[in-house]
Amino acid sequence: MTISTGATAGLTPATEAGICTRVSIDPRGPRFGGAITTVVLAIALITMGTTFGTAVIAWQAIVFALGAFVGLRAQPYGLIFRTFIQPRLPAPAELEDSAPPRFAQLVGFGFLAVALVAALLGATLISTIAVAFALAAAFLNAAFNFCLGCEIFILGKRLSKSN
Amino acid sequence: MKGFYLVLAILILATAFGLWYRANNGRLRTTDMRAAGADEHGGETIDAQTIGVALGARATLVQFSSAFCQPCRATRQILGEVSEMVAGVAYVDIDAEANLELVRALDIRRTPTVLVLDSAGRIRKRASGLPRKADVIAALGDLD
């Protein structure tokens, strides 16, 4: 079986699309942020159902919103990394594009927005499930350098534009 | 206390998944022999027109990338180096989002995905995730 799209004109090379050609951030920043997020979301799960627990969810939702909509420079955990951690570390071996971690912040915001609305409405189970997924993703990012955009972006595109 | 056990369970499950992910990510696999129209080497064929570059005399490395893919840059670096180092190896990096038709035809779900084509354009190896340079070079040796 020969795979052919028939038209060469339809093919876009990745570099032309600007994929990961911009390098702007220290890759250790998002991983540090993932570690703090893991701790915060664990606290949110343990205190789920209390006013404090809802406040923690609201805080993390704001953090993700800043990272996704304003930029990683405005993200509080990134700020902590650049102010206190980065000056004590050797220079990074290489810089990375900020688009993939920003996408992960956006997905995180989606889960936390659902979790917050559910918590405010008293739907503790839904809130728990949403925070649980966000916790797993944040932990995988911090511990295994898991790339969320790699896993879900193209799959999502395929599903949303399916024939 | 219930929340504490839930956190523990999530971290254990995520660790198990993470270890599996790390062990399998970027591994080059020989493509399925049972694929439609399989010949002696199995698998599908891609022509030069489809990927927009001439096939390499020995092999062609085809990478699919996306905008939110962190290891795509490192993959590009590795494949670019291999194609320069080994004679007769062509390399092309394709934007998956802009070429969804091809992505569907090849059933690409993650980025980066790397295909190793032989001189006839048959897909002989496939990896998703950042491959190791030594594995790519070894895969080229396996083609003959």
For chain B, the domains span 27-142
Give A15-59 pLDDT, tens digit per residue: 767 776 677 899 999 999 999 999 999 999 999 999 999 999 999
d(CA B44, CA B80): 24
Q: Which two tokens stand for residue A127?
A: 């809130």
Quickly state the pLDDT bin for B31 (edges 50, 70, 90): confident
Give A64-106 pLDDT, tens digit per residue: 999 999 999 899 999 999 999 999 999 998 888 899 999 999 9
Question: Which residues of A are less than 8 Å from B96 in CB distance?
Answer: 154, 157
Q: What's the pLDDT at B52?
A: 87
For B21-141, list the strands marked E by DSSP: 29-30, 45-46, 59-65, 89-95, 113-118, 123-128
DSSP B95: E
> For chain A, what is the domain count?
1
Quickly state the pLDDT bin for A128 (edges 50, 70, 90): very high
Minimal Cα distance from A39: which residue of B? B7
| Angle CA A97–A145–B64, to nearest 5 | 55
d(CA B70, CA B82): 20
Give B66-105 pLDDT, tens digit per residue: 999 999 999 999 999 999 999 999 999 999 999 999 999 9
Among the partner-chain residues A5, A149, A158, the one whose CB lies closest to the CB of B68 is A149
Percent of chain B with pLDDT over 70: 92
pLDDT at B10 over 60: yes
d(CA A136, CA A148): 11
Quickly state the pLDDT bin for B33 (edges 50, 70, 90): low
Question: Which residues of A are less than 8 Å from B100 in CB distance?
Answer: 157-158, 161
Backbone φ and ψ of B87, nearest 5°: -65, 140
Q: Which two tokens stand for residue A71?
A: 């930029």
d(CA B135, CA B132): 5
**Assigned domain for A14 exists:** no
Crossing angle of helices A28-46/A51-65, nearest 10°? 160
Report, as an integer, the average pLDDT of A121-126: 96
Domain of residue A60, residue span: 25-160
**Does B77 contact chain A (CB < 8 Å)?**
no
Chain B interface mutation, best of A24, A154, A158, highest count of B Cβ atoms under 10 Å:
A154
**Assigned domain for A132 exists:** yes
CATH 3.10.129.10 fits B27-142, yes or no: no
Write out the H or E segment, with its range, that includes residue A2. strand A2-3
Between chains, do A17 and B17 touch, taking CB under 8 Å as contact? Answer: no
Report, as an integer, the average pLDDT of B43-47: 82
For residue A101, whether the previous peptide bond is cis, meaning omega lies within 30 degrees of 0, is no
| Predicted-complex ipTM score | 0.85
In contact, B85 and B57? CB cutoff 8 Å: no
Residue A157, amino acid? K
Crossing angle of helices A124-144/A28-46, nearest 10°? 150
**Assigned domain for A55 exists:** yes
DSSP bridge partners of B118: B59
CB neighbourhood size of A84 (10 A): 10
Q: What's the pLDDT at A53?
A: 97
